[in-house]
Amino acid sequence: MPEATSAESDIALRTGGRARRPNSVGLRRLNILVGALSLPLFIGLWELVSRSGTVNMVLFPPPTVVAAAVLEWIRSGQFFSDLLASLFRVTTGFIVGGALGILLGILTGQFPVISSLLSPLFHILRPIPPIAFVPIVILWFGLSEAGKLFLVVWGVFFTVWLSTHIGVQKVDRGLIRAALMLGTPRRQMLQEIVLLGALPYIVVGLRTAVSISFYTLVAAELAGAFAGIVYRIEIAQQNLQTGQVMGGLAALGLISFIADRLFAALAERIVWWR
């Protein structure tokens, strides 16, 4: 591209051939280096402290012991069945709760009558922490999978409902007027303008719901399960396998981190015009 090169040389000429802030490159390299050292430093320190004899190694095992426990977990084949069980609960709950939330959010956002009917109820139910429903869920569903899905769906639903409801209400009236003037029929306004106008809000709600679905997963599996990451953590705790407990926590952190990043990348594609 000849244009770009001439512009570059122009800038180089005006700045006398120097980058304007010579320090900025060095600073960025330093930051990358420090960032890369962060985890190894932390793990090394942990190993030292655990083996120093100042703490109880059974309760505070070093990373090497945790790693061994995780390897054993994977080798026994339990890791993958646990992972699958947890992922199934989170994804199904997220999809069902998200779909219900979007659907009802559109209805209450768009139709004042439906909003008057449902919003007061939802506003009372929404602040109750999903964990508080564990006892009644056990009464209703026992230890079945349905009860666990119920908890995750419950947690996801309210967040997605509220953000969709607000998103629909906040759609720029000017866009609706412009669309009306261009001959958009009112019955097509939802699909042409309202849904897309609310989409950025819906996506933010869904992203919050990703972490909420992991919180509620914890409650769901602690309530009694036969497989799952959190279930494994609880069993290990009962057997005083602290390494396994910590490995489970690390796995949970890693999975929800990956889920959040995946969703963030997806969100960028959903709201394509940003």
Partner 1 sequence: MKLALASSPASDESARKQPAIQVSNLSIVFDTKGGQVIAVDRVSFDVAPGEFVCIAGPSGCGKSTVLNTIAGLEVPFEGEILVEGAPVYSPRPDVGMVFQQPHLFPWKSVRRNIAHGPRMLGKSTTEAYAIADDLIAMVGLKRFADAYPNTLSGGMQQRVAIARALANQPRVLLMDEPFGALDAQTRTVMQDNLLALRDRIKATIVFVTHDIDEAIVLADRVLIMSAGPGRILREVAVKLPRPRSSSVLVEPAYHSLKKDCLDVIRAEGLRAFNQSDAN
What are the residues binding partner 1 (CB under 8 A)? 172, 174-175, 177-185, 188, 192-193, 196, 199, 272-274
CB of 184 to partner 1, least distance (A): 5
Neighbouring C-beta atoms of residue 157, cutoff 10 Å: 26
Report how far residue 61's alpha carbon sits from residue 114's, in angstroms, rounded to the nearest whole number.
Answer: 55
Report how far residue 213's alpha carbon sits from residue 79's, in angstroms, rounded to the nearest whole number.
Answer: 20
CB of 270 to partner 1, least distance (A): 11
Residue 77's region, left for phi above 0, alpha for psi from -120 to 50, else beta, is left
Of 262, 156, 161, nearest to 211 (Cα)?
Answer: 156
Q: Which is nearer to partner 1, 34 or 180 (by Cβ)?
A: 180
Q: Which is nearer to partner 1, 222 or 271 (by Cβ)?
A: 271
Of 220, 76, 112, nearest to 156 (Cα)?
Answer: 220
Neighbouring C-beta atoms of residue 147, cutoff 10 Å: 21
| Alpha-carbon distance values, 69 to 63, 75, 78, 79, 138 (Å) | 10, 10, 12, 11, 31
Q: Which is nearer to partner 1, 133 or 201 (by Cβ)?
A: 201
Q: Which is nearer to partner 1, 70 or 198 (by Cβ)?
A: 198
CB of 273 to partner 1, least distance (A): 5
Place of tokens 């100042």: 54
Report how far residue 29's alpha carbon sits from residue 257's, in angstroms, rounded to the nearest whole number.
Answer: 25
CB of 82 to partner 1, least distance (A): 41
Q: Which is nearer to partner 1, 41 or 178 (by Cβ)?
A: 178
CB of 179 to partner 1, least distance (A): 7
Q: Which is nearer to partner 1, 90 or 195 (by Cβ)?
A: 195
